Structure 1
């Protein structure tokens, strides 16, 4: 069977101890840059690992809310959220530059990601930040989302993302983390989940239905307790080959 050229990405730099063991299996990584986690030291350390392993590095901005790890929608003025995102991404960009690296992509985190997937106003805010300040940067976002629509309308380079370790609802949204079945912890279960998405181009939802899907990158979460097991299972499915070029990036 022909190996698949599909990017695997992971959320890193979030204060955990597993970045170094996960990095060798990745094609790209999303590094926390001060909103939900991370600061200059952790960003720098994660970028050094990414450079060592030839992994594309991107900014992972969030609602400015470390108390809730960016997993709660924060009611704040649009101008303040916009400035916070610009500041987070510029911090990442400046540190990357010091290490001789370019920012490859931007991927919103947590509640901001999920909100922008369904809310046109939030999607517009994020894509406007990219167009105005980070024009050549890729955006990682969910397929069929408001974020994808807004990005494509502005000519932003888009990589559609699916999740190996999260279950989906019937509307393509991720199952709320309050649900005990939201996260997939077992490597074999994650492998079956990814196999459906990659080979059959469909997602099996939590209620057992199937949704059509197309994507260019697969995400796992670094804070998944079994992140390494899940990642190795996915890597095996893709025949130990991740993309070195994401659509010519």
Structure 2
């Protein structure tokens, strides 16, 4: 029997390829109208999730469309709690109308990366998720402050690793704009994904080996070749003895994961 790994993708961000990607993944992180998306895109993405049996989750970010939520902002914990809560409420109202249960929350962009290294910010996000719905799973960078905050808040967590991003030796993602931070070559991205699955490790930007123990792998839907990458990933995973499904390791982590990055 194939071992299973969750393959998640950030969708509803206006990239135009959601319908082609959805059959190839197991979890979708849906933009909630701040960094991208609106009611129509959220509703459409939820319906695609239902059509293809994909787990739906929220993807809240900074309200900074000009920079696609990828610019670090300095908000107070109360402001972050309110920002995330407003987005969860907006998506949840639409999901209820569509008869779809949200399963997880994965912050977007700069909010995600800042929370990975800032326990205070991570606690604010985790507290918001708990206050909104304690059954939601908090997804965060493997071994970082974000899943740790989720555990402190009593949430289930999923440790996430990235297929197409290079890591630094401290377990954080190499900042976008850094040479080599984004893995553009599909073959290299697949090799990193298989390294995470088989060895729970990746080669960092400077060539050292880093432990990365993950429950879910992220495919960025805003890549021009995202559909091709998703198709080739499925083939490569199958050959390696792994199936794709949210019923596997995603939604299973309640305790810190030994050997995780960070």
Same fold (TM over 0.5): yes
2-side partners of 1:106 and 1:13: how far apart? 14
Structure-1 separation of matches of 2:82 and 2:8? 26
CA 1:233 to 1:11, structure 2 compared with 1: closer, same or farther past 3 Å? Answer: same
Cα deviations across residues 163-203 of structure 1 (Å, max 9, x unaligned)? Answer: 00111111111111112311112221111111111101111
Contact 1:160–1:217 (Cα < 8 Å) also in 2: yes
Could you tell me which residue of structure 1 aligns to residue 187 of structure 2? 188
SS in 1 for 2:49: helix
Q: Is the 8 A contact 1:44 1:96 kept in 2?
A: yes
Matched, 1:17 2:16: yes
Give the aligned partner of residue 41 of structure 1: 40
Q: Is the 8 A contact 1:190 1:233 kept in 2?
A: no
Q: Note the alpha carbon deviations across 1:43-96, whole angstroms, 9 max, x for none.
A: 001111111000001000001111110001122333222212101011111101
Q: Equivalences for 1:84-103 in 2 at 5 Å?
A: 84-103=83-102
Contact 2:61–2:107 under 8 Å retained in 1: yes
Instruction: Kindly state the Cα deviation for residue 247 of structure 1 after the two structures are TM-superposed.
Output: 4.8
Matched residue of 2:122: which SS? helix
1:61 match: 60
Please give the alpha-carbon distance, in whole angstroms, between the structure 2 residues aligned to 1:169 and 1:226.
Answer: 25
**Which residue of 240, 243, 246 corresponds with 2:245?**
243
User: Take 2:249 and 2:214, find their aligned partners in 1: how far apart are those partners?
Assistant: 11
CA contact (8 A) 2:5 2:250 kept: no
Q: What is the rounded CA distance, in whole Å, between the counterparts of 2:154 and 2:77 in structure 1?
A: 23
For the pair 1:200 / 2:199, whether they are aligned, the reply is yes
Residue 172 of structure 2 is matched in structure 1 by 173
Q: List per-residue Cα deviations over 1:125-155 (Å, max 9, x = no partner).
A: 0011011112100111112111121111222
Number of equivalenced pairs: 248
Distance in 1 between the 2:121 and 2:189 partners?
Answer: 30
CA contact 1:186–1:226 (8 Å) conserved in 2: no
Paired residues of 1:62 and 1:110 also in contact (CA < 8 A): yes
Which runs of structure 1 show a deviation greater than 3 angstroms over 4 or more consecutive aligned residues?
246-249
TM-score (norm 1): 0.95
Deviation at 1:244, TM superposition (A): 4.2
1:166 and 1:184 in contact (8 A); partners too? yes
Query: Aligned residue for 1:125?
Result: 124
Match of 2:138 in 1: 139
Alpha-carbon contact 1:142-1:161 (below 8 Å) kept: yes
Distance change >3 Å, CA 189–CA 247, structure 1 → 2? closer
* Distance in 2 separating the partners of 1:238 and 1:21: 19
Matches of 2:157 and 2:246 in 1, distance apart? 16
